[in-house]
Structure 1
C-alpha cells in the first residue's frame, strides 16, 4: 500500500496567515493615512530629544506624488490580502484553472513581498540615518513585509529555486531604482528641491554643551516673513494654545518654523510653558489639559501633538491669509 505524503502545515495555512499579516499591515497604514489626510497626529508619544512617528509622517519622505506614503502601503497590503485569499474564494471545479490561479497568485505574492521588503529596507535606512527617529508603526510595517516574504517562500513548494532568485534579483533592482528615483529630490539634509517653492527644511539637534535657558529655551535663529506673522496673529485670534517645555528640541523646531518675530506673538499670547522649573512654568495648566507630549497644540477643542508645519496649521484653523511660508519640517 502506497502512503500519500502528508502536506506540511505551513503549506496548508500559508495563505490565511499571509492574509492575516497583510490585514494587520493594512490597518496600520490605513490609520496613518487617515491621520495624515485629516491633519491629525498619530498616537505615538516621543520622548524628549527623540523624534517619533509624527516627525516621520511630516518628513520629506512621508509624501509621494503629493499623497501620504502610508496610502501606498495600505494599497500594497490590501493587494496582498486579495492575492492570498483569491484561490480560496474563487473555487473552480476545473483543476487546471484552479492550479493556474494558484500559480499566478503565488508568483504575484512573491513579487509583491520582495518589492515591499526592499522598499521597507530603504525606509529603515532613512529612519535610522536620515530622519533619526523611532517609529513603532514603521518598524511594525517592515516586520510585516519581511514576514510576508518568508511565508511566501516557505508557504509552497517551488519547483525551481533559481526562479525565486531570478525574480528576487529583478524585482529588487527595479524596486530599489524606482525608490531612489522617487526620492531623488530629497538630499541628505532633507531638503526637497523644486516642489517646495523655495522652503527651507528645519531640523534641530541640540549641542551637548549648549544648555537651554529655563526662561526661553534656545535662541531662535530664523526670521519671520509676512505669512508667518499673519498666521501667528490668526492663531491668537481663534484662541489656539501651544503647550511646550523649554528643554524640548521639538518645541524649538516649532519656534524655528515660525521664526523669531512670529513666535514672539505666540510666546506673548498663547504659549503655555509646562516645565515646572521654568520661571514661566504653569505645569498645572498642562496637567489639566492632559498634555502628554511636546509640543502639543489645542485648536478648536482638538489636540495636535508634535511639530506642525505651518501649512497644516493654516488648514486646520481655516486661515486664509498669505501662505508663502519660509520653513517646513
Structure 2
C-alpha cells in the first residue's frame, strides 16, 4: 500500500512538473539577475572592478554597502547573497536537466530546497530593508533590487511546489521566519556597537593610543598636503583612524564627504570624484582603501627619525 501511494504521488508530480517548468525557468532568470547584482557588488568591494552606477545616487549605495552591516566575517555581505542566489539557480535548473528514474524525487526535494533557501533570503532581506530605512537612512538600488528578487523567488517557490499538506508548509514557514529573523536581529545588534559610539553626522570616537611614530607620520602627511577623504558612517575610515591613534589622527587633514556629516565638504569630494572611503590624496594622486601606515609613509616619502 505504501509503495503504491508513493508511486502514485511521484507519478502525479511527474505529470504536473511540465506545467511548473516555466516557474523553474523564471526562478532561474531571477536568481541569475540576483547573482549578477550581488556578484558585481562583491567584485567592487574587493577592488577588482571600478565604480558602479547606482540609480538613485552613488552616495546612498556607498553609505549602505560600506556601513557596519555591509560585511560579515570580514567579507562583503553581498558575497553571501551571491552564494545564495547561485544555490537557488542550481536548485531551479537541476531537475530540468537531470535524466533518469530519480528525477521525480530530485524535483520534489528541490522544491523544498527552493522554499527554504528563498524563504530565508526573503526574511533576511526584509530585515536589511529595516536597517536601511531606520538605521542607515539611505537608499541603495542594489539592496532594494535584491530584496524584491528574494521575495519574488519565495512567492514562486510557494506557487511551484507540490505541497500536499498546507498546514505543515505554513508551520515550517513560521519556524523558518523566526529562526532567520532572530539570528539576523542578533547579528545586526552585535555589529551596531561602533555606530553606537557616534551621534548623527559625527564619526565614532577613536580609542587607540598613538605612538611617537604615528604622530610623526601624521604631522608629515599634513605638512606635505596629504588629504584623507572620509565619511562619518564609514567603518573603514574609522579603522584607518584607529591605526594612527586618538592623538595622531587629529593632525591629519580629513575631509568629510557625507552630505549630512558635520563640517561636510561634499562639493569638494564631488569635484575630486571620490568613489570610495577612505580615499587618500598624496602628491596629487588619489588612492582609495585603508592603507597600512608603512604604505602611507612610502607614498608620502616619510623617513622615520633615526633612533640613534
Deviation at 1:77, TM superposition (A): 0.8
Match of 1:153 in 2: 158
Contact 2:218 2:248 in 1 (8 A): no
Change (3 A) 1:292 1:90: closer
In 1, Cα distance between equivalents of 2:200 and 2:30:
37
Match of 2:64 in 1: 56
In 1, Cα distance between equivalents of 2:220 and 2:45:
23
Deviation at 1:231, TM superposition (A): 6.0
Segment drifting more, 169-178 vs 140-149: 169-178
Match of 1:104 in 2: 109
Matched, 1:205 2:205: no
Q: Secondary structure at the match of 2:120?
A: helix
Q: Secondary structure at the match of 2:186?
A: helix
Match of 2:261 in 1: none
Deviation at 1:155, TM superposition (A): 2.3
Higher relative contact order (CA 8 A, sep 6+): 1
Matched, 1:182 2:177: no
Change (3 A) 1:202 1:155: same
Deviation at 1:164, TM superposition (A): 2.1
Segment drifting more, 128-137 vs 157-166: 157-166
More helix by share: 2
Q: Secondary structure at the match of 1:52?
A: helix
Match of 1:169 in 2: 174
Contact 2:237 2:277 in 1 (8 A): no
Change (3 A) 1:109 1:237: farther
Q: Secondary structure at the match of 2:138?
A: coil
Runs (5+) with no aligned partner, structure 1: 1-5, 193-199, 207-217, 274-280, 321-329
Matched, 1:24 2:33: yes
Contact 2:222 2:251 in 1 (8 A): no
In 1, Cα distance between equivalents of 2:155 and 2:91:
16
Deviation at 1:98, TM superposition (A): 1.2
TM-score between the two structures when normalised by the length of structure 2:
0.67
Deviation at 1:120, TM superposition (A): 0.6
Runs (5+) with no aligned partner, structure 2: 1-14, 258-264, 299-308
Change (3 A) 1:43 1:296: farther
Change (3 A) 1:101 1:9: closer
Match of 1:276 in 2: none
Deviation at 1:294, TM superposition (A): 9.3
Match of 1:77 in 2: 85
TM-score between the two structures when normalised by the length of structure 1:
0.63
In 2, Cα distance between equivalents of 1:181 and 1:77:
23
Length, aligned pairs only: 269
Matched, 1:38 2:47: yes
In 2, Cα distance between equivalents of 1:230 and 1:138:
42
Deviation digits for residues 156-192 of structure 1 (CA, Å, limit 9, x no counterpart): 4433222321221121112112223334423xxx324
In 2, Cα distance between equivalents of 1:150 and 1:10:
17
Query: How do 1:1-329 and structure 2 match up within 5 A?
Result: 11-38=20-47, 43=52, 52-92=60-100, 94=101, 97-186=102-191, 190-192=192-194, 203=198, 205=200, 226=210, 229=215, 232=218, 258=241, 262=249, 264-266=251-253, 290=273, 297=280, 304=288, 312-314=290-292, 317=295
